[in-house]
């Protein structure tokens, strides 16, 4: 179910930037890395939003991460 949910989500990471960063460290990128990275970013942001709401705020701040 989580995999299907992730597939319907808009990418939040810039693939070319990720590829360039990995390449600058003399590494190659697997084709599924961006999907997995995007899922992690969504998880991180969802947790930050929940923390923000639990604290009665409507502005997500760096310490919510």
Q: How confident is the model at residue 1 (pLDDT cuts 50, 70, 90)?
A: very low
* CB of 32 closer than 8 Å to CB of 21: no
Say yes or no to pLDDT of 4 above 70.
no
Mean pLDDT of the 37-63 span? 97
> Cα–Cα distance between 60 and 20 in angstroms, integer?
29
Say yes or no to pLDDT of 50 above 50.
yes
- The pTM of the full predicted model, rounded to 2 decimals, is 0.81
Contact residues for 59 (Cβ-Cβ < 8 A; gap 6+): 52
Burial class for 31, CB neighbours closer than 10 Å (0-12, 13-18, 19+): exposed
């Amino acid at each position: 179910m989580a995999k299907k949910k992730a597939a319907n989500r808009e990418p939040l990471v810039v693939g070319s930037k990720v590829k360039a960063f990995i390449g600058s460290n003399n590494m190659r990128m697997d084709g599924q890395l961006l999907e997995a990275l995007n899922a992690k970013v969504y998880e991180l942001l969802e947790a930050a939003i929940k923390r923000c709401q639990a604290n009665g705020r409507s502005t997500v701040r760096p310490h919510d991460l």
